[in-house]
Structure 1
Amino acid sequence: MRYVLTLLAVALAVSGCASIFGKPNVVTVNQHGNTKVVYRADDKTRFRNLYAGKKIYPLTCEADCYAPRRELECESDNEDCHYIGKQTLPTLSAGFTVTWLGHASFHVETDEGARFLFDPVSDQFDWPVNWAFYLSEGFNRQPPNWPDDEKMSEIDAVMYSHIHYDHFNKSDIKDLGPAPQYLTPLNTAHHFPEEGLSIEEMAWYATTEIKNTRIHFVPAHHFSSRIWVPFIYDDNEKSLWGGWILENKGKTLFFAGDTGYSQHFKDIQAKYGNIDICLLPIASYFHEEYGEWYRYVHTTPEDTLMAAKELQCGVVIPWGFGKHSWKMGDISSHSALTRLLNMYEKIDTPPPLFILNEGDSVRF
């Protein structure tokens, strides 16, 4: 068994590094002005969250969290569901068209025709983690319906929140090729395949601009790692993590990335004002083995609702659940959405919600 793990570790180490046989990427680092990062006190090569330490959560679901919802049509209990509830589109005039591709992947287009991808992962994890996941869990995700090649060829920028396998996929990078600009957290570029790509690494609060859209990299409360067998190499927290804000004509769209609940949501609102469109995670908050730590770095549905109130979101689109997820740290494919809908009725002045099924598009 140790021999198998060692081989897996070596494969992971190799897969975590850029190939020496491709065309070199062009990497710039955006860490100037009022940008910010925080390093661990015991190791200045590793990043840490802005608000480390024990968390106090404003609200926790304690009863009837997963009571069935009429808005969900499911094949079984909270499994393989389709949202069928009636919804009213908020009047925002924000100029963004949002398509949820599945899990954390989004396609966003501005009215001016700028096209962006967040965390594109079109199939399974990169090898060999796809193989290891299947052996341990007994299933792979259902591959989502992906935009056609013509639409993908028109992408202007690809943004990654962090390097975990369900958010950063090398086969998709190879398919996208060198045409788009790649925007990443600090110390992430060396994980990319060498394909002659243009990569901009960004610190928290760094800003760049593409096609009249200002793009801000902002904090999240999470962690990073790419290597799963640490007796060969430990890369925990050696690359940064965060979320992204698109700002166009005074309107804002926020993709939070994976994150736990913390003060950083209030910080983002204080710096950028009320957020018009919030793409917020609601899943992967429960894990028997890791206990409370899993919630520490992932929001429960009620944590997301509290964060949305602090961000003063014009509308919230939740993600992380669904038929095309890996159900990592969740009870079933749609348990997180069921919990969200149940908790939504229990809070005062909840933020507007708009639920997408995977593959759906909406213009705000």
Structure 2
Amino acid sequence: MIYYKIHYLMAAMYSLKTPLAFLFLILLSACTSNFITTLPAEKNTTFKKNERYINQYAGEKTYPITCQQDCYTPRQELSCEINQPATQCHYIADQIRPSLNTGFAVKWLGHASFQLTTGDNQHILIDPVFDQFDWPVDVAFKWSGGLYRQQPAQLSDTELRKTNAVLYSHLHYDHFNKTDLASIGTKPTYYVPLDMADYFPSGGYNITELPWYSQQKQGELTIHSVPAHHFNSRYLIPFYNDDEQALWGGWIIEYQGHTLFFAGDTGYSPHFKDIQQRYGDIDVCLMPIASYHSEQYPKWYRYVHTTPEDALTAAADLNCKVMIPWGYGNATWQMGDKSSHSAMVRLLNMHEQMNSSVPLYILNEGDVIAF
């Protein structure tokens, strides 16, 4: 189904045909309607309960492996200002870059934000958040002095103007910041999960909403929406919580038979195996490894976020040819983890303990790698 948002008030004022009405119409027209395409869902692929979206595999979870000891032993691959807990680190070890000939070049901007360049010379942004939190959460954390990060890698105006598409995984403030939209502009197509377009400001944005397991062409690319095990709410603290009225998910970008997977925020669940069964082995996997620890809510945090060992298990489920982790570092938020780089230390230790065959490629914020 394709539909367009219409300013009904503008139409009503036009019908009055008075000078005041025309003046109001001119002023209001500056807030241009967005153009929204909503794709239909396949049967039994997107799930709701009491009009709220739910995870495909809801309920109690068990996890294949949990780090029990030597989780945060300092690593020689990391140069850190402080080793325990690991803080202000830089990955310094030599790495072997897999030769996959995918056409994808990946730049990690920090936290969950990536810039991709594809084989058909398109420029894609994933979960771009260039500053801190969006209003009003930004104000709240400025007052509290907590959960702030260093400035992430910035893109120039020229780079932003080259952007062809923007993909958002969900509405949480560290993944979707409305103030960035004006900088990115209306040229790109914005791809979002179902019912997320309502959260965009007016301004002439071209938005495509996708249910899980749907796809849309973007030049020579095919963009696939896939499940994640998470949740979605947009708090106007402390006034309002929309409570799962918009879907969440991950993305697969396909180019000439090669695939790049962005998991979004997610806990571990069988949906990773489902994705592999549908799309085959994944070439490049961008996997979250942080925000799994909370003294107050340890079970809940892991339920909706992957530990480093969960991410390695998921990457094995997907048969990833290379895994790029994200969610750690200086340009991320310390959201429940022991330190800014503790997740990376745990990942390197667990990769050894699990004898994992998943190839890792570690980026520092701002790094670019082509596969």
TM-score normalized by the length of structure 2: 0.89
SS at match of 1:28: strand
* Residues 130 and 152 in structure 2, CA contact (< 8 A), matched pair in contact too: yes
> CA deviation digits over 1:127-155, x for unaligned, max 9?
22112123334362111121211111011
Greater mean deviation of Cα atoms: 285-294 or 138-147: 138-147
> CA deviation digits over 1:219-257, x for unaligned, max 9?
000000111546x43311111000000000000000000
Instruction: Look up the equivalent residue of 2:271 and give its one-letter code.
Output: H
2:39 aligned with 1:30: yes
The percent of aligned pairs where both chains have the same amino acid is 53
- Which of 54, 57, 77 pairs up with 2:60? 54
* Residues 21 and 194 in structure 1, CA contact (< 8 A), matched pair in contact too: no
**1:32 Cα offset (Å):** 4.2
> What's the counterpart of residue 205 of structure 1?
213
2:324 aligned with 1:317: yes
Instruction: Look up the equivalent residue of 2:253 and give its one-letter code.
Output: L
For residues 264-303 of structure 1, the aligned pairs below 5 Å read 264-303=271-310
2:149 aligned with 1:115: no
* Residues 259 and 299 in structure 1, CA contact (< 8 A), matched pair in contact too: yes
* Residues 35 and 204 in structure 1, CA contact (< 8 A), matched pair in contact too: no
* Residues 245 and 253 in structure 1, CA contact (< 8 A), matched pair in contact too: yes
TM-score normalized by the length of structure 1: 0.91
2:355 aligned with 1:348: yes
* Residues 34 and 245 (structure 1), Cα distance of their counterparts in 2 relative to 1, 3 Å cut: farther
SS at match of 2:68: coil
Pairwise CA RMSD of aligned residues?
1.5
Query: Which fold has the larger relative contact order, with Cα–Cα distance below 8 Å and residues 6 or more apart in sequence?
Result: 1
Instruction: Look up the equivalent residue of 2:294 and give its one-letter code.
Output: H
> What's the counterpart of residue 15 of structure 1?
none
2:171 aligned with 1:163: yes
User: What CA distance in whole angstroms lies between the structure 1 residues aligned with 2:147 and 2:61?
Assistant: 34
- Which of 58, 71, 77 pairs up with 1:71? 77
Instruction: Look up the equivalent residue of 1:307 and give its one-letter code.
Output: A
**1:126 Cα offset (Å):** 0.8
For residues 102-181 of structure 1, the aligned pairs below 5 Å read 102-138=110-146, 140-181=148-189
Instruction: Look up the equivalent residue of 1:53 and give its one-letter code.
Output: G
SS at match of 2:260: strand
User: What CA distance in whole angstroms lies between the structure 2 residues aligned with 1:52 and 1:138?
Assistant: 32
> What's the counterpart of residue 95 of structure 2?
87
* Residues 103 and 119 in structure 2, CA contact (< 8 A), matched pair in contact too: yes
* Residues 147 and 334 in structure 2, CA contact (< 8 A), matched pair in contact too: no
> CA deviation digits over 1:98-118, x for unaligned, max 9?
000000000011122011110
Q: Greater CA radius of gyration, 1 or 2?
A: 2
2:221 aligned with 1:221: no
> What's the counterpart of residue 194 of structure 1?
202
User: What CA distance in whole angstroms lies between the structure 1 residues aligned with 2:264 and 2:146?
Assistant: 26
Structure 2 residue runs without a partner (length 5+):
1-27
User: What CA distance in whole angstroms lies between the structure 1 residues aligned with 2:223 and 2:271?
Assistant: 18
Instruction: Look up the equivalent residue of 1:332 and give its one-letter code.
Output: S
* Residues 258 and 281 in structure 1, CA contact (< 8 A), matched pair in contact too: yes
